[in-house]
């Protein structure tokens, strides 16, 4: 097996604080209460209805159980900030100051000691990250109840940024590397039918389509006599070289994703072998022109007829063209394209995977990010039912990959493939 490790050619820490907190003892919102739930509810209320609740620390009116003790909002916020910031207080008096509603700000050392003495628990304080996550989830629930689209979380935004950066860095949209490929040769031969008048009998060769700015090339079959047939292997050398470049780009794209790099190397190989052909199709859709049915790759243009010159059969080529037309019509954003690639990459159904649960979680996280992005960023009417349509197209793409692999294996019997392409389809 070839080496895949390197692309081929191809609870928050305690921060020391100042000796004193800010004299302002602003009450923290309920969303910052840092509630956990080991055992009974942290906001349980066992007092008779209508009876005023008293803060066990300062005697002010309490709002409920915070960190295992009935306290007011002020003492709740003070305790959370003091513990989470790791602040050390010193009592300027005799370390026995009375803590009341009026005097609770005078000595923070004794106030913190009182919090601990009445039973407030350090282990129930949530980290800042956990608090942010909970605030986002609560906000999302409120928006969902109000029928509004949910906002992207900070983690989802970071995932999208990582994927877009990886795509831009490793997908050569100018296709400048194609100059290193063997030149595309489009060779057509005459059929065995009787020659017609004024027909030439020599093979016809078209040396690669070019894409001048503002023009669209005719497909080869549109400009050839009716009795000509494609030479099914004339484009194969170019296709093999082109495929190697695209596969190398997918490998480099995947290795820019931290979650992918953290997986065992065997799982990385399994994911790449299972996903690369599909990801290549998603990347190629970004340069597909649905009006001319041409893939515009810098100075090169490709039509579905070129697939026949490689050796692919119509049972694969016709649904492939239909897939690209359908996907292009959805007017996807760059973020949606890269999220689709990541969903395909982290599919837990790829054979040979050992970290199935981890990959399944990555797949779910990426899919939820795509759904949230569509709900939040893709305007109507294009965004309506977009997520469901993409799921259907991914199912079609999986079927296309199976047929694509079958036909490549057949072509491989007729010629020699590169080691990289052979490894992908093995």
User: Do the Cβ atoms of 283 and 375 come closer than 8 Å?
Assistant: no
User: N- to C-terminal Cα distance for the chain?
Assistant: 10
The listed CATH number (3.90.550.10, 3.40.1280.10, 1.10.565.10, 3.40.50.920) that belongs to domain 157-425? 1.10.565.10
Residue boundaries of the structural domains of the chain = 30-145, 157-425
Average pLDDT over residues 51-68: 92
In the predicted model, is pLDDT for residue 333 greater than 80? yes
Q: Mind listing the pLDDT tens digit for each residue in 244-301?
A: 899 999 999 999 999 999 999 999 999 999 999 999 999 999 999 999 999 998 888 8
- Residue 342 to residues 257, 269, 270, 386, 426, Cα–Cα distance (Å): 9, 15, 14, 17, 22
What is the DSSP code string of 5-36?
SS-----PPP----SS--S--PPPPGGGS---
Indicate the range of 222-226, 278-282, 314-318, 385-389 predicted with least confidence.
222-226
Nearest-angstrom CA–CA distance, 271 and 251: 10
For residue 293, count other CB atoms closer than 10 A to its CB: 16
Domain with residues 30-145, CATH architecture: 2-Layer Sandwich (3.30)
pLDDT at residue number 174: 77
Mean pLDDT score of the chain, rounded to an integer? 78
Helix or strand holding residue 188 (H, E): strand 185-190
pLDDT at residue number 146: 64
In the predicted model, is pLDDT for residue 28 greater than 60? no
Provide the CA 322 distance to its chain's centre, in angstroms: 25
- Residue 291 to residues 55, 216, 281, 294, 321, Cα–Cα distance (Å): 71, 10, 18, 8, 12
Over its C-alpha atoms, the chain yields an Rg (Å, rounded) of 32
In the predicted model, is pLDDT for residue 191 greater than 90? no
Average pLDDT over residues 151-160: 90
In the predicted model, is pLDDT for residue 15 greater than 90? no
């Amino acid at each position: 097996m070839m080496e895949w490790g390197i692309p081929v050619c191809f609870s928050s820490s305690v921060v020391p604080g100042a000796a004193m907190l800010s004299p302002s003892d602003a009450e923290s919102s309920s969303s910052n209460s840092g509630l956990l739930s080991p055992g009974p509810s942290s906001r349980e209320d066992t007092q008779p209805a209508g009876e005023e609740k008293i803060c066990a620390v300062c005697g002010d009116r309490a709002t409920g159980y915070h960190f295992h003790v009935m306290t007011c909002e002020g003492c709740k916020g003070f305790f959370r900030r003091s513990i989470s910031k790791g602040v050390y207080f010193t009592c300027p008096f005799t370390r026995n100051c009375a803590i009341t509603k009026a005097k609770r700000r005078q000595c923070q050392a004794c106030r913190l000691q009182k919090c601990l003495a009445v039973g407030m628990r350090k282990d129930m304080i949530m980290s800042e990250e956990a608090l942010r996550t909970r605030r986002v989830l609560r906000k999302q629930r409120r928006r969902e109840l109000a029928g509004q689209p949910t906002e992207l979380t900070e983690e989802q935004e970071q995932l999208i940024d990582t994927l877009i950066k990886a795509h831009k860095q490793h997908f050569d949209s100018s296709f400048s590397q194609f100059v290193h490929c063997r030149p595309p040769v489009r060779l057509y031969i005459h059929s065995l039918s009787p020659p017609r008048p004024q027909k030439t009998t020599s093979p016809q060769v078209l040396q690669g389509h070019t894409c001048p700015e503002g023009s669209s090339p005719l497909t080869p079959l549109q400009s050839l006599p009716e009795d000509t047939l494609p030479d099914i292997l004339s484009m194969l050398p170019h296709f093999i070289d082109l495929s190697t470049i695209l596969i190398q780009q997918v490998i480099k794209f995947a290795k820019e994703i931290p979650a992918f790099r953290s997986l065992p190397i065997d799982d990385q190989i399994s994911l790449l072998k299972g996903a690369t052909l599909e990801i290549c199709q998603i990347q190629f859709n970004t340069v597909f022109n649905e009006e001319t049915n041409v893939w515009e790759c810098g100075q090169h243009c490709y039509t579905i007829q070129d697939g026949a010159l490689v050796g692919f059969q119509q049972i694969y080529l016709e649904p492939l063209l239909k897939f690209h037309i359908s996907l292009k019509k959805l007017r996807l954003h760059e973020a949606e394209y890269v999220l689709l690639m990541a969903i395909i990459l982290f599919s837990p159904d790829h054979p040979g995977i050992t970290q199935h649960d981890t990959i399944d979680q990555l797949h779910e996280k990426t899919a939820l990010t795509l759904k949230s992005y569509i709900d939040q960023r893709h305007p109507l009417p294009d965004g309506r039912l977009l997520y469901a349509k993409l799921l259907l197209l991914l199912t079609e793409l999986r079927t296309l990959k199976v047929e694509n692999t079958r036909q490549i294996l057949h072509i491989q019997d007729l010629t020699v493939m590169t080691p990289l392409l052979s490894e992908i389809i093995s």
